[in-house]
Amino acid sequence: MSEHTMTIGGARAGTARRFDVVNPATGSVFATAPAAAPDDVEAAVSAAHQAFASWKRDEGARRKAMHAAADAVDAAGPELAALLTAEQGKPLTDAATEVQRSALWLRYHADLELPVEVVRDDATGYAEVHRRPLGVVAAITPWNFPLTLAMWKIAPALRAGNTVVVKPSPFTPLATLALGEVLRPVLPPGVLNVIAGPDPLGSLLTGHRLVRKISFTGSTETGKRVAAAAAPDLKRVTLELGGNDPAIVLPDVEIGTIAQRLFASAFMNNGQVCLAVKRVYAHASICDELVDALAAIARSVKVDDGTVEGAVLGPINNRPQLDRVTSLVDDAIVRGARVAAGGRAIDRPGYFYRPTILTDVSDGVAIVDDEQFGPALPVIRYDDVEDAVARANNSRFGLTASVWSADVAEAARIAADLDAGQVSLNVHGFGVWPDLPFGGHKWSGIGVENGRWGLHAYTETQVITGPVRP
Ligand code: NAD
């Protein structure tokens, strides 16, 4: 694979130092990425700051450039997808979908209206509300969906007239660096800058005086550090953080109908999805049947290198995450959990773990209380649905949740009592669309991304007012 470079001020930016990138399907280093120095951060933020002056002025040019960027992303689809699979581990078909969704986000936001709202126009005077861009946006992303999560930030930020410096996770820097290369000839210099490097690069960016907004997706722990870094300068923040997303399954479900969907919602991207089902509360009358059905699916799923035809799940992305999932499952077993499927790593090179279904486990055990972010799902028995709701809500997190029942009206009633930014009915994490706000309650984040709500988060309001219409 070719050596990818950073994009600063519309040009390639090499570095003296590079760092290793591991293919999680082999556990071996397969590429290197540039390691930005403090001077590179300075150069990237300055380039973005300079580009802001003209980029913010011409809405029509922005829309046109964003459509051209979407076309360029589509045209580079195979190259970007191959990089994603190599560095992230996901099957190639999923990687291709991720690239397509990145282009979709650009097109949707290019066409999204940001109207001036006239609030008063009468004898008492005139007032209208504008949405002005903020300036330089720092976009910091995790390793599970490197491209789409970057685009959740880049697309609305650019549409609103901001300029951007993106910093991907050091586990998955390559597809984002390649995105910068693909867009170099398409966007004006400095509008989109891509830098990479091991931590603490992110904190150099969040601390920079010219950055006016930080849009961060990652763990709750890091999100709190980002919020603290933003505070002295009152930088605006959007934080998309962790989740411990519950699915509540009522006694009236038809297991044959829901099991496959429930499994997919927990194990997509190998469970490394902020909004994946992380714990299932199943009514005692159907719990064993559900566990058997989920376990049968878990045993039948093809887990392999993402480049292998037919692979449904790939490896876990990195060694620390594999170790975390392993220790959470081992701990649950020591505490009496029964392994209905999986329960251990796969004996081959790379970070492969068997899709795991645990039962006879309950709240108070780490795999139920914490975010596992991997291919292991605890199924918890309950007798009373109000108790299940209380246990589901008894968490610092509040990202997504779901309720599963033949009675959709009853499911919707229960949904209203769940502390989560999105509750799906008979499906989980259903609403991930460019026009729908996505964000978490409590420790799962601050603010939302996507739709006009997400776009507004890349703006400041400005009122223009006077005795008569200008
Ligand atoms: P992480 O918090 O370890 O890292 C996220 C990013 O922050 C990386 O780019 C990292 O290099 C950077 N970073 C680290 N320290 C920093 C600092 N002090 N200042 C600024 N940046 C810093 O998260 P991760 O392990 O890459 O991702 C997994 C987590 O992301 C999970 O908790 C998951 O739930 C969460 N996530 C949330 C959403 C959402 O939309 N809510 C989506 C995807 C993932």
249-267 pLDDT, tens digit per residue, is 999 999 999 999 999 999 9
Residue 287 annotated in active site:
no
The ligand 1 atom at the shortest distance from the C-alpha of residue 167 is 9
266-279 tens-digit pLDDT? 999 999 999 999 99
What is the Å distance from ligand 1's center to 142 Cα?
A: 4
The ligand 1 atom at the shortest distance from the C-alpha of residue 143 is 26
91-144 tens-digit pLDDT? 999 999 999 999 999 999 999 999 999 999 999 999 999 999 999 999 999 999
Residue 236 reports pLDDT greater than 70:
yes
Q: What pLDDT is attached to residue 14?
A: 87
The ligand 1 atom at the shortest distance from the C-alpha of residue 169 is 9
- Measuring CA to CA, how many Å separate 336 from each of 332, 372, 392? 6, 18, 21
Residue 66: pLDDT band with limits 50, 70, 90: very high
Distance between CA 91 and CA 68 in Å, rounded?
27
Residue 240 annotated in active site:
yes
To the nearest 10 degrees (0 to 180), the angle between helices 77-88 and 174-183 is 160
From the candidates 87, 98, 240, 371, give the one annotated as an active-site residue.
Answer: 240
Distance between CA 268 and CA 377 in Å, rounded?
12
Q: Indicate whether residue 378 lines ligand 1 (CB < 6 A).
A: no
What is the Å distance from ligand 1's center to 219 Cα?
A: 4
- Arithmetic mean of pLDDT, 426-434: 93
Q: What angle do CA 29, 32, 38 make, to 5 degrees?
A: 135
From the candidates 59, 113, 254, 274, give the one annotated as an active-site residue.
Answer: 274
Residue 349 reports pLDDT greater than 90:
yes
Q: Which domains does the chain have, with CATH numbers?
A: 6-241+444-466 (3.40.605.10), 245-433 (3.40.309.10)
In this prediction the pTM is 0.97
Q: Indicate whether residue 139 lines ligand 1 (CB < 6 A).
A: no
Q: Indicate whether residue 437 lines ligand 1 (CB < 6 A).
A: no
Hunting for tokens 């994946």 — which residue is that?
Answer: 276
Closest listed residue to residue 420, CA positions, set 443, 404, 453, 436: 443
359-411 tens-digit pLDDT? 999 999 999 999 999 999 999 999 999 999 999 999 999 999 999 999 999 99
Q: What pLDDT is attached to residue 430?
A: 86
Contact 74, 103 (CB under 8 A): yes
